[in-house]
Amino acid sequence: MSGKNFCLFIPLLFTLCSTTNGDLTGHLQPLGSQVPPVGDVLTLTEIPSPQEFFDQFVKPGKPVVFKGAATKTPAYELWTDDYLSSKFGEVKFDVEEGKKENRSRELFNMPLGEFLKSYKEKDIYLVASVPKIMRDDIYLLKCLLCGGFTDELQDSVMWFSNGGTKSVLHYDAIDNINCLMSGTKELFMVHKKEHAHVLIDKPDGSFSKVDVDKVDLQKYPGLADVPWYKANMEAGDCLFIPYRWFHQVRSYGPRNLAINIWFAHKLEFNSTDCEESPYKDKQFAPLSEFEVTESLGPGLPLLLLDEMEQKPIDEEKFLEIIKNLWNSEKLMKGEGIEVLKEIFKEIDTNEDSLISPEEVTGSSLDEYEQELMELFPRDGDEDDGEGDEDDGEGDDDGGDDFKDEGDVEDDDDENADIGRHEDL
């Protein structure tokens, strides 16, 4: 009798295990195959004014595709391989080996002319800041020409390959407009508030170690049902990627060339600048006419204010926000919680058990941030001795912690049935 029971138990156990694994739809499949997108990113055929851009997209954090916006920039027509080779062939750029982003690889430097001779046959990817000598050919869109956007332009980066590149799933702590000169791109985009779905297990680089070609749903279960939006870009399109939005990019060739502009995230629009700016009535302006200064990403005060959405918050909500922003298990235990509660009390100057945006603005939170960094370093800020595997991780911007183009492409990646769509 016992022998029969044992024999019956084995196939039953096998059946249960098989069924459980089979329910992981999209397991070990490309990112985006797990669940259909909830909608497509909004596409506009007209570029909004700076005020409209801020009110409708920057402030609420809403991505948008500006269809054909890049066709007016000189680079769109001029930047053929022959033109680039003849005019800028001696200019040296950082180049990555391998088009599936991996932030542990080192870059090597080569003249643009040499890159142009070999990129179509080799597995290489040019990712580098656009030098001043090339900025006359790049135009800023009118939505950036006043309101304070040009006061804090962070960088302009060129992304150049024969297609097939894939970025890691990541976020940037600054805003980004990416314009595509040739090729196509597909983006997987997730709202910045979906922390529970997206595991950023390399917080020092603001990215996930998930393999974007073979998503392990047992390790990253949140991606099984993450609400995501799809953005498609064709040559001539520009895409606004809001700061802290999670995204992953796939680019397609045979020639893929994009230029992006990073700019500091703002909580307020500078109306006075639009009244006085010489660019207020222009449709475009050369990037060469503006200062581009790379700097650190936003500090804790701005990040907290953005998460508060102009509303007072209580201590519980404050702790929740800091937990999502800081990525430190040590901070959220014992002594760390007590320190955060003390900070909350210091900010709450009127002692009403709430902190308002005004109280945060008038506080010394930036000084507390320095103390937190010393006492409770973010997970990953210290080298754990583990190298990054070639699993699609990394910044398409060449490795900066606070910014990344997000484009990654895979020529043989098939899209899942996306079903009913709603524009974001």
pLDDT one digit per residue (tens) for the chain, 424 residues: 444 443 333 343 333 333 344 568 999 999 999 999 999 999 999 999 999 999 999 999 999 999 999 999 999 999 999 999 999 999 999 998 887 766 566 788 999 999 999 999 999 999 999 999 999 999 999 999 999 999 999 999 999 999 999 999 999 989 999 999 999 999 999 999 998 899 988 877 789 999 999 999 999 999 999 999 999 999 999 999 999 999 999 999 999 999 999 999 998 999 999 999 999 899 999 999 999 986 666 788 988 998 898 899 999 999 999 988 887 778 888 899 999 999 999 999 999 999 999 999 999 998 888 888 888 887 655 444 333 444 433 344 333 343 444 433 333 333 333 232 344 5
pLDDT at 412: 37
Residue found by looking up tokens 């973010």 in the block: 378
Are 117 and 81 contacting, i.e. CB atoms less than 8 angstroms apart? no
pLDDT at 296: 60
- Who contacts 5 (Cβ-Cβ below 8 Å, separation ≥6)? none
DSSP of 346-359: HH-TT-SSEE-HHH
pLDDT at 302: 87
**DSSP-derived 3-state class of residue 212:** coil
Please tell me the distance from the alpha carbon of residue 89 to that of residue 162, in angstroms, as a whole number.
Answer: 18
Return the CATH fold of 39-289. Jelly Rolls (2.60.120)
Residue ranges of alpha helices (H) inside 277-391 are 300-308, 315-326, 335-347, 357-361, 365-375
pLDDT at 309: 85
* Architecture in CATH of 300-375: Orthogonal Bundle (1.10)
Domain boundaries, the chain: 39-289, 300-375
The four Cα atoms 271, 275, 276, 280 give a dihedral, to 10 degrees, of 100
Burial of 296 from C-beta contacts in 10 A (0-12 / 13-18 / 19+)? exposed
Please tell me the distance from the alpha carbon of residue 65 to that of residue 80, in angstroms, as a whole number.
Answer: 24
39-289 and 300-375, same CATH topology:
no
H or E element in which residue 8 lies: helix 2-22
Please tell me the distance from the alpha carbon of residue 244 to that of residue 327, in angstroms, as a whole number.
Answer: 14
Residue type, 324: N
Please tell me the distance from the alpha carbon of residue 212 to that of residue 216, in angstroms, as a whole number.
Answer: 9
Q: How many residues does the chain have?
A: 424
